[in-house]
Structure 1
Amino acid sequence: MAGFTCSLLVLLQMGTAVGHAAAPVSLAKSYEDWWAYKESIQGIFVPGPAFWGLVNAAWNLCAVGKRQSPIDINTSQVVFDPFLPPLRLSLGSKTVSGTLCNTGRHVVFLPESQRAVNMSGGPLLYTHRLEEVRLHFGGEDGAGSEHLLNKHGSPSVQVANNSNPFLGRLLNRETTTRISFKGDSTFLQDLVLEQLFPDTFSFVTYQGSMTAPPCYETVTWIVIDQALNVTSMQMHSLRLLSQHRALHVFQSMSDNVRPVQPLFQRGLRGTLDYRRPGRRCTGARYRLQVDGPKPPKASG
């Protein structure tokens, strides 16, 4: 499998849509503000990733957990699982609408709750509801992905002349200028979520954690092996987003990534057999299975 230079990680944040979810731990606002990806903000020390587990006792998994994320995915350790089914996306309507936000740490798209989007299949034992689409990105084209692939950038996104249609809607210059500062948001309508996925793809899955405090080890990661396209202009627009509010000193939100964590004894499963001899990997390469109303075809 070819490697790609990656500058942006697209994370689909899913929450369980079945059973009773436990209430989230409520942290004091001072703790919520007391972590960062960079240890110096406007010349003031703020605890970076190496210190997250020391700031708050509720975050101790960030320091002592054995199933932490992200990781470097070594394909020689991936066990081929021919029984992994395709991923299935269940749409309540043809398109989704929602709010694009600058949180100061990430660019986040929050879909409207009344238009539920559910995902199942692959390694997922239950149906999960889409909570958010979160973007991580680097200050340079050679960085920005949290997960690595054989010690290189994971093939989440590559810079190209054309853009993935879904990301194109999120990252056009008119939209990003509306979220220039922390706390800014804008409402977007009629996005076709399935356009975010490649036409065909395989994936690697493992049990891990959130990549920000409190680092709970409750995440089933599904890392798709095909890159999505963004343009140089879209990456430039992302790097102009500030992690501070208006009238404060500008500091780019870029490089909002946690370093890779040890794998320890966890297993990696994949839909391709990377350990077979020869140049071509064998195994299933899937198309996304979509239930519900069919979206309009993309123009152009």
Structure 2
Amino acid sequence: MTQTSWGYSKENGPDRWHESYPIAKGNNQSPVAILTKDVYKDPILLPWFTSYDPGAAKNILNNGRTVRVAFDDTFDRSVLRGGPLQGIYRLRQLHIHWGSTDDRGSEHVVDLTRHAGEIHIVHWSTKYSNYGDALKKPDGVAVLAILLQVGKTLKPEMKRIVEEIDAIKTKGKEAPFPNFDPSILFPQNRSYFTYQGSFTTPPCEECVTWIIMKEPIIVSADQMAKLRSLSSKTADELHCPLVDNWRPLQPLNNRMIRSPCQ
């Protein structure tokens, strides 16, 4: 498997990533299963907060593995702080994982429940000189994770992303995505689980402080179907549904999952 050809099929999927990216077999890998009864209620954990500038949103891309929205991170215009974090983290990108059916797709599993999808909002610590540098540090990156649950009383916020799907149907397609504030995607309850882990895609660097929202947001079956209508192949190749782009659970080993007391 060459370094660029990883994916989610049998030939190049998660079971084989470690062949090109040995850290994928490391001790601090993500995602993990969270059991509420085993979570440590930590009195020192603070609320987290963001200040995002909608003008930082640049474009939306189908890279053949996910939908990704990129943000301008050349200065502190959109940031995350608080919670388990020290210092300021700059917003860089947002992407989504989803399944081929509504009963799977999320990467983290809470109390044995796997949701239909999971949004990852990726930030990097400004105490490092750039994103590449932050990837080499255990506290370099913070990812806010939002679980997607299919239901009736949906939050309309996913609409903006779903509306752009037709413009990026096939791998490599990109569209402008101006004026977008990802905080509209946050659930009402800001309580969270946190632990130290890794990116869930190669190279799977172990540099991530995870902040996983306890409360999922509600999306519609139609919205999930729209995501599944994307192709993981380019326009001149045969359509191949972009689905099940989630990594299976990794061992927790001796890590502690914490949540705030409140």
Interval containing the TM-score (normalised by the shorter chain): 0.7 to 0.9
In structure 2, relative to structure 1, the CA distance for the partners of 1:95 and 1:197 (3 Å cut) is farther
- Decide whether the 8 Å contact of 1:72 with 1:151 is kept in 2: yes
| TM-score (normalised: structure 2) | 0.83
Q: Is 1:164 the counterpart of 2:155 in the alignment?
A: yes
Find the aligned partners of 2:159 and 2:73 in 1 and give their Cα distance. 23
Residue aligning to 2:127: none
Q: Aligned partner of 1:143: which letter? A: R
Structure 2 segments unaligned to the other structure (5+ residues)? 116-145
Residue aligning to 1:192: 181
Counterpart selection for 1:51 from 12, 16, 39: 16
Q: Is 1:145 the counterpart of 2:106 in the alignment?
A: yes
Counterpart selection for 1:182 from 166, 171, 175: 171
Across the two proteins, how many residue pairs are aligned to each other?
231
Residue aligning to 2:22: 60
Q: Aligned partner of 1:112: which letter? A: D
* Alpha-carbon distance, 1:96 to partner: 4.4
3-state SS in 1 of match to 2:18: helix
Q: Which has the larger radius of gyration?
A: 1
Find the aligned partners of 1:233 and 1:97 in 2 and give their Cα distance. 25
- Decide whether the 8 Å contact of 1:68 with 1:261 is kept in 2: yes
Q: Aligned partner of 1:47: which letter? A: N
3-state SS in 2 of match to 1:66: coil
Find the aligned partners of 2:171 and 2:227 in 1 and give their Cα distance. 13
Counterpart selection for 2:222 from 228, 233, 239: 233
Find the aligned partners of 1:171 and 1:110 in 2 and give their Cα distance. 16
Q: Is 1:131 the counterpart of 2:89 in the alignment?
A: no
- Decide whether the 8 Å contact of 2:195 with 2:211 is kept in 1: yes
* Alpha-carbon distance, 1:162 to partner: 5.0
Alignment root-mean-square deviation, CA: 1.8
* Alpha-carbon distance, 1:264 to partner: 0.7
3-state SS in 2 of match to 1:190: coil
Matches within 5 A, 1:15-54: 31-39=2-10, 46-54=11-19
- Decide whether the 8 Å contact of 2:62 with 2:169 is kept in 1: yes
Find the aligned partners of 1:136 and 1:97 in 2 and give their Cα distance. 20
- Decide whether the 8 Å contact of 2:24 with 2:203 is kept in 1: yes
- Decide whether the 8 Å contact of 1:165 with 1:195 is kept in 2: no
Residue aligning to 2:201: 212
Residue deviations 1:170-195, cap 9 Å, x none?
112xx111100000011122223321
Counterpart selection for 2:34 from 56, 73, 90: 73
In structure 2, relative to structure 1, the CA distance for the partners of 1:270 and 1:164 (3 Å cut) is same
Structure 1 segments unaligned to the other structure (5+ residues)? 1-29, 40-45, 272-282, 285-300
* Alpha-carbon distance, 1:166 to partner: 3.3
Residue aligning to 2:69: 109
| TM-score (normalised: structure 1) | 0.73
Residue deviations 1:5-30, cap 9 Å, x none?
xxxxxxxxxxxxxxxxxxxxxxxxx8
3-state SS in 2 of match to 1:221: strand
- Decide whether the 8 Å contact of 2:57 with 2:181 is kept in 1: no
Find the aligned partners of 2:148 and 2:156 in 1 and give their Cα distance. 13
In structure 2, relative to structure 1, the CA distance for the partners of 1:94 and 1:239 (3 Å cut) is closer
* Alpha-carbon distance, 1:207 to partner: 0.5
Q: Aligned partner of 1:157: which letter? A: L
Provide the identity percentage: 33
Find the aligned partners of 2:234 and 2:159 in 1 and give their Cα distance. 25
Counterpart selection for 2:81 from 110, 117, 120: 120
- Decide whether the 8 Å contact of 2:149 with 2:218 is kept in 1: yes
Residue aligning to 2:60: 100
In structure 2, relative to structure 1, the CA distance for the partners of 1:163 and 1:190 (3 Å cut) is farther
- Decide whether the 8 Å contact of 1:179 with 1:185 is kept in 2: yes
Q: Aligned partner of 1:61: which letter? A: I
In structure 2, relative to structure 1, the CA distance for the partners of 1:113 and 1:264 (3 Å cut) is closer
Residue aligning to 1:243: 232
Residue deviations 1:238-277, cap 9 Å, x none?
1010001012121111100110001011111112xxxxxx
In structure 2, relative to structure 1, the CA distance for the partners of 1:153 and 1:223 (3 Å cut) is same
Q: Aligned partner of 2:49: which letter? A: R
